[in-house]
Structure 1
Amino acid sequence: MYAWIWRKLPFGMAGKLVGSVLLAAAAVALLWFVVFPWAEPLLPFDDVQVTQDSGVPGDDSGGGLTVPSVSPSEEEIPYSTHSNNAPPTTPNR
Structure 2
Amino acid sequence: MYAWIWRHLPGEWQTKTATALGLVLVVAAVFWYVVFPWVEPKVQFDHGVVDRPSPSGSRTPG
Structure 1 runs (4+) deviating above 4 angstroms are none
Q: Which residue of 2 aligns with 1:16?
A: 16
Give 1 or 2 for the bigger CA radius of gyration.
1
Find out whether 1:26 has 2:26 as its counterpart: yes
TM-score (norm 1): 0.49
Q: State how many pairs are aligned.
A: 51
Higher helix share: 2
CA distance in 1, matches of 2:26, 2:4: 18
Higher relative contact order (CA 8 A, sep 6+): 2
CA distance in 2, matches of 1:6, 1:31: 22
Find out whether 1:35 has 2:40 as its counterpart: no
Structure 2 alignment gaps of length 5 or more = 49-60
TM-score (norm 2): 0.71
CA distance in 2, matches of 1:34, 1:13: 31
**Could you tell me the percent identity over the aligned residues?**
46
CA RMSD of aligned residues (A): 1.8
State the 1:11 CA deviation: 1.2
